[in-house]
Structure 1
Amino acid sequence: MAACVSRVELSVSCRSLLDRDLGSRSDPLCVLLQDAGGGRWAELDRTEKIKNCQDPEFCKKLVVDYYFEKVQKLKFGVYDIDNKSFDLNDDDYLGGVECTLGQVVSSSVFTRALELKQGKPAGKGTITISAEEIKDTRVVYLEIEAQNLDKKVEYECIHPEKKQKKKHYKNSGIIRIKSCKIETEYSFLDYVMGGCQINFTVGVDFTASNGDPKSPDSLHYISPDGINEYLSAIWSVGSVVQDYDTDKLFPAFGFGAQVPPSWQVSHEFALNFNASNPYCQGIQGIVDAYRQILPQIQLYGPTNFSPIINHVARFAAHSLQQGTAAQYFILLIITDGEITDLDQTRQAIVNASKLPMSIIIVGVGEADFKAMEFLDGDNGVLKSVTGEPAARDIVQFVPFRQFKNAPQEALSQMVLAEVPKQLVSYYKWQGWPPLKLPEIKAM
């Protein structure tokens, strides 16, 4: 499991809370819980109680560990506290909201209506949550610039042992600082909370080696419970990434199939059959388009990756015209076997390594995925056929078989763990700060 990316502080305020006290207003407190699995919720933190207040702005900030590669489900509950007991069961529930930490950190202001029960509003009550990354230290390279050339900043270089042994020892030299520059190391959260959108695209392998989708032996066969390895990979990765895209519209493509009406083999066709608008509404939209297209196409071949990589790369290249850290692109390719256009794909990846883009490849089935491991570049810098090296490592490959018996979130944790580092390294390489610069608070 990847190490914790960061810790965040959540500031909470409410408006128009229900009034549960007779003769006075409610005394609200907000408690933060995290999904512990199996329908259980574990308390992480709680705010102070504020007396007689329907519009509280809590001073105490709620602290939680943040992982990009996980869906971290949170529940905020607001209670009217009428006693000194820590137990909340005897206190009136004023409303709550469920969300993910990804939704909070990717929103400039996260405001939701409070609910007493799912779908039942708690009067006109609302809750607003804002996030701030906790930074123990901000890495700063500080060089002091003298305002006056006659007043150079100088430091003596002292050797402790020589100073003790030599009576007339003064120093071992003088350090003169001639220039000044402050360089801030921005984090993944700095970019996301600064307004960077993460665009998610899916590419699905429809080559004949997958087998007839009607046969239970096929990798595209949808089991009675409505799942196969392709759908599991889409849900696992997409459920995390969707929180970082405001409009929740995701382009989805297929490759390696004969498609109507011409029945020509295509390596870049929209799953919704709408070439001019290949966007699906949410992850569920991708799943629905996948289910609907299966009986309408003929699985064929070969297995070519480069057309879809180049397709996403064109959008990533277009985003560069903004000259800001506004958009980053993640392409998920799900495939069952060996790649046919390896040389073209190598070149496409080398080209994409200069763009705000990451590529995730999930291998389904039991095929030999040596070519995918080669593209991953973990054992050395990937190079094109002409010898041009990738500017940075942007490919992460995993075989799905390693996660067959693991929880669904295990796959996303593995394939998405490198994305924050890849995003930060790209913008650092470009010299682009976050759209909205984080505040640097006095230590």
Structure 2
Amino acid sequence: MSTGWARGAAVAPRVVPAPCASKVELRLSCRHLLDRDPLTKSDPSVVLLLQAQGQWVQVDRTEVVRSCLHPTFSKVFTLDYYFEEAQKLRFEVYDSHGPGSLSCQDDDFLGGMECTLGQIVAQKKVTRPLLLKFGRNAGKSTITVRPPPSCPALVVAEDISTNNGYVELSFRAQKLDDKDVFSKSDPFLELYRVNDDQSEQLVYRTEVVKNNLSPVWEPFKVSLNSLCSCEESRPLKCLVWDHDSRGKHDFIGEFTTTFAEMQRALAEDQVRLGEPVRPGFKGPLGAAAPGRRWARPCAPAPPGKTAGTRCTCQAHGQGQLGNPGQGSAFRPPAPRGGCWHWDSGGGGSLPVPVPQAQWECVNAKYKQKKRHYRNSGLVILADLKFSRVYSFLDYIMGGCQIHFTVRPQDPRPLHPAGQVAIDFTASNGDPRNSCSLHYISPFQPNEYLQALVAVGEVCQDYDSDRRFSALGFGARIPPKFEVSHDFAINFNPEDDECEGIQGVVEAYRNCLPRVQLYGPTNVAPIISKVARVAAAEESTGEASRYYILLILTDGVVTDMADTREAIVRASHLPMSIIIVGVGNADFTDMQVLDGDDGVLRSPRGEPALRDIVQFVPFRELKNASPAALAKCVLAEVPKQVVEYYSHKGLPPPGLGAP
């Protein structure tokens, strides 16, 4: 434990993430916190900090739980977990006095605890006291860390690397019990997941709706793993409370359900407005006439209505059932107390049942004590949206191919592709001179070869035939020795591919004595060439081929405006660009193309749709292993692949629409 606790967050250093990090969710709760408020209890929140290069960097902060010494926070922290790193975490608990924000400047410090993410994941349970400054105990305050299944704990860690989607839920309620004497209840809803050991894990807590017995809560989004551990039949419990500013919330009622039940119930409610009724459909009043269409759903029949009572719901004014106040007769009994409507043409019946996606909110104590007690209101699922999220491995294992083969002149369907482009400009120096970046030494490979082999050895595993398209730019080439910014280094424009990475190395060695290094350093033509192939792939509407362009260059790009324009256009296509800077030149412009410090824009001001460029200066990894270089160079490719197909709404091949 450090002797002091930082109040502000340092600027996070740039860290290149590993391509296949697991995601870990941290859930927090506290017990026996110090009470810093004289008239009420503390209003706690927890700040999460991560140590990076010796500095504590503030990552996120939970919501504030008002007037509570034993809070359970609904905010979920999501972190990348790297097995090979000691990821030091710090949890700081504050009594908040201002609006919820990342700043803790005016808040009272209630204690803190340090541990590593590896300890949380590996030890299953870590219980430690909260400490004040200089290592003093914060009374009886403790913090417990363990992965699920979880009993009441402070931090619960869950691996969501296999999480397959997010769920957006929207709840409302009707006729809740009034718990306040001079006003109406201030309801909020808590959603819990029931674990295998029957313990309950808070998933989400809604906002408080003031003075309202029929509240409509804001929609919220949670991961499917968070909601039900990706098990749709896992029990879920919903509790409704009347908020109290002193923290003594009044219980209104609860109900249990499952994610599967939510989906079924909501689907039954979605009457297909305007779609034809299937032939032969029969309702309680007889068969539907030909051409009959589904009507808009309306409110359920009021209790006690009998046959012949007219429905006056406003749905009848929507074009299917006549004018408001002129609906059909209720015809009890209908499904779950609903009603059947004649449509405006007569002769057929259309079912409009009571909404299925609703649950009675029950207070067990009232049910035992009150003889005629029915419920404390209804909770209605207004909407449910499920967004499937696919990982990089989902696409690769589903059949999406990423490798270094392109045949632009091949009349057969294009293969999944990428290209290697090598800088042959004069700034590299005369290849016959030992000071040249292109000098072929008998003792060790030059930087171009080192970078080419390190990256190529990894990328060729994604290529079924291990053939590479190898291009050069910035040289005068035979026979006319005119400058070319797009030539095959094997001097076969009809088939620029080489057999494996060693084939590229041989073609490169053979090319050097046959060309004249010249200039300028124009890379836009190479980018545009690959973009044309990627555009043809985009038109197929499938996630089957993704293209990678590897550019090896020694310095400043001379067609920067055209290059920016080409990259912005390419950001809409299934392709990525990797640039390895060779030598000791000024690579400032390359850092701009990378886009890590801001969105890249074309000269016309159009922003790139996504970041598709990864720049790595070879000199920073010159003494590292080839595996380290490849890991750094390819770090962003998985994310770029997933971002592109997610934006297009394309699932892995063979899985259908998400």
User: Within 2, Cα distance between the matches of 1:364 and 1:271?
Assistant: 19
**Contact 1:146 1:152 (C-alpha < 8 Å) held by counterparts:** no
* Matching residue of 1:200: 418
SS in 1 for 2:624: coil
Deviation (angstroms), 1:341: 0.1
Of the candidates 8, 17, 29, which is equivalent to residue 2 of structure 1? 17
* Matching residue of 2:164: 138
Deviation (angstroms), 1:174: 3.2
Query: Are positions 1:147 and 2:147 aligned together?
Result: no
Query: Are positions 1:312 and 2:530 aligned together?
Result: yes
Matches within 5 A, 1:116-135: none
Query: Are positions 1:189 and 2:393 aligned together?
Result: yes
Deviation (angstroms), 1:171: 5.9
Query: Are positions 1:216 and 2:434 aligned together?
Result: yes
* Matching residue of 1:88: none
**Contact 1:190 1:437 (C-alpha < 8 Å) held by counterparts:** no
Query: Are positions 1:372 and 2:572 aligned together?
Result: no
Code of the aligned partner of 2:649: G
* Matching residue of 1:104: none
Tell me which of the two structures has the higher relative contact order, counting C-alpha pairs closer than 8 angstroms and 6 or more residues apart: 1
Matches within 5 A, 1:214-293: 214-293=432-511
Code of the aligned partner of 1:147: E
Deviation (angstroms), 1:321: 2.5
Deviation (angstroms), 1:322: 1.9
Matches within 5 A, 1:350-369: 350-369=568-587
Code of the aligned partner of 1:314: R
Deviation (angstroms), 1:269: 0.5
User: Within 2, Cα distance between the matches of 1:229 and 1:375?
Assistant: 22
Deviation (angstroms), 1:246: 1.1
User: Within 1, Cα distance between the matches of 2:602 and 2:635?
Assistant: 25
Deviation (angstroms), 1:155: 4.9
Deviation (angstroms), 1:140: 4.1
Query: Are positions 1:175 and 2:380 aligned together?
Result: yes
User: Within 2, Cα distance between the matches of 1:157 and 1:373?
Assistant: 58
Percentage identity across paired residues of the two chains:
54
SS in 2 for 1:197: coil
CA RMSD of aligned residues (A): 2.9
Distance 1:175 1:213, change over 3 A: same
**Contact 2:431 2:439 (C-alpha < 8 Å) held by counterparts:** yes
**Contact 2:361 2:379 (C-alpha < 8 Å) held by counterparts:** no
Deviation (angstroms), 1:5: 1.4
Query: Are positions 1:428 and 2:636 aligned together?
Result: no
**Contact 1:363 1:398 (C-alpha < 8 Å) held by counterparts:** yes
User: Within 2, Cα distance between the matches of 1:5 and 1:135?
Assistant: 9
Code of the aligned partner of 2:353: D
Distance 1:306 1:157, change over 3 A: farther
User: Within 1, Cα distance between the matches of 2:162 and 2:491?
Assistant: 50
**Contact 2:19 2:636 (C-alpha < 8 Å) held by counterparts:** no
User: Within 1, Cα distance between the matches of 2:377 and 2:459?
Assistant: 55
SS in 2 for 1:325: coil
Give structure 1 stretches of 5+ with no counterpart: 8-66, 68-133
User: Within 1, Cα distance between the matches of 2:624 and 2:587?
Assistant: 20
**Contact 2:600 2:607 (C-alpha < 8 Å) held by counterparts:** yes
SS in 2 for 1:174: strand
**Contact 1:249 1:279 (C-alpha < 8 Å) held by counterparts:** yes
User: Within 1, Cα distance between the matches of 2:610 and 2:596?
Assistant: 11
Code of the aligned partner of 1:353: S
User: Within 1, Cα distance between the matches of 2:620 and 2:425?
Assistant: 22
**Contact 2:421 2:526 (C-alpha < 8 Å) held by counterparts:** yes
**Contact 1:200 1:241 (C-alpha < 8 Å) held by counterparts:** no
**Contact 1:205 1:336 (C-alpha < 8 Å) held by counterparts:** yes
Distance 1:156 1:377, change over 3 A: same
Distance 1:136 1:342, change over 3 A: closer
Of the candidates 592, 608, 625, which is equivalent to residue 407 of structure 1? 625
User: Within 2, Cα distance between the matches of 1:333 and 1:366?
Assistant: 16
Query: Are positions 1:395 and 2:613 aligned together?
Result: yes
**Contact 1:152 1:176 (C-alpha < 8 Å) held by counterparts:** no
Please give the per-residue CA displacement for 1:49-86, whole angstroms capped at 9, x wherever unaligned.
xxxxxxxxxxxxxxxxxx9xxxxxxxxxxxxxxxxxxx
SS in 2 for 1:397: strand
Which range moved further: 220-229 or 388-397? Answer: 220-229
Distance 1:184 1:250, change over 3 A: same
User: Within 2, Cα distance between the matches of 1:169 and 1:203?
Assistant: 74
SS in 2 for 1:388: coil
**Contact 1:200 1:242 (C-alpha < 8 Å) held by counterparts:** no
Deviation (angstroms), 1:357: 0.4
* Matching residue of 1:325: 543
Deviation (angstroms), 1:370: 0.4
**Contact 1:267 1:307 (C-alpha < 8 Å) held by counterparts:** yes
User: Within 2, Cα distance between the matches of 1:316 and 1:215?
Assistant: 39
User: Within 2, Cα distance between the matches of 1:205 and 1:159?
Assistant: 73
Code of the aligned partner of 1:189: L
* Matching residue of 1:346: 564
* Matching residue of 1:48: none
**Contact 2:19 2:635 (C-alpha < 8 Å) held by counterparts:** no
Distance 1:295 1:353, change over 3 A: same
Distance 1:395 1:273, change over 3 A: same
Deviation (angstroms), 1:153: 3.9
**Contact 1:205 1:334 (C-alpha < 8 Å) held by counterparts:** yes
Deviation (angstroms), 1:281: 1.2
Deviation (angstroms), 1:223: 1.6
Code of the aligned partner of 1:421: K
Distance 1:136 1:349, change over 3 A: closer
Give structure 2 stretches of 5+ with no counterpart: 1-15, 23-81, 83-159, 168-258, 270-351, 403-416
Distance 1:356 1:206, change over 3 A: same
Distance 1:399 1:135, change over 3 A: closer
User: Within 2, Cα distance between the matches of 1:188 and 1:321?
Assistant: 21
**Contact 1:363 1:397 (C-alpha < 8 Å) held by counterparts:** yes
User: Within 1, Cα distance between the matches of 2:600 and 2:640?
Assistant: 15
Deviation (angstroms), 1:241: 1.0
**Contact 2:474 2:521 (C-alpha < 8 Å) held by counterparts:** yes
**Contact 2:391 2:642 (C-alpha < 8 Å) held by counterparts:** yes
Please give the per-residue CA displacement for 1:339-374, whole angstroms capped at 9, x wherever unaligned.
100000000000000000000001011000000000
Between structure 1 and structure 2, the one with the greater Rg is 2
**Contact 2:430 2:438 (C-alpha < 8 Å) held by counterparts:** yes
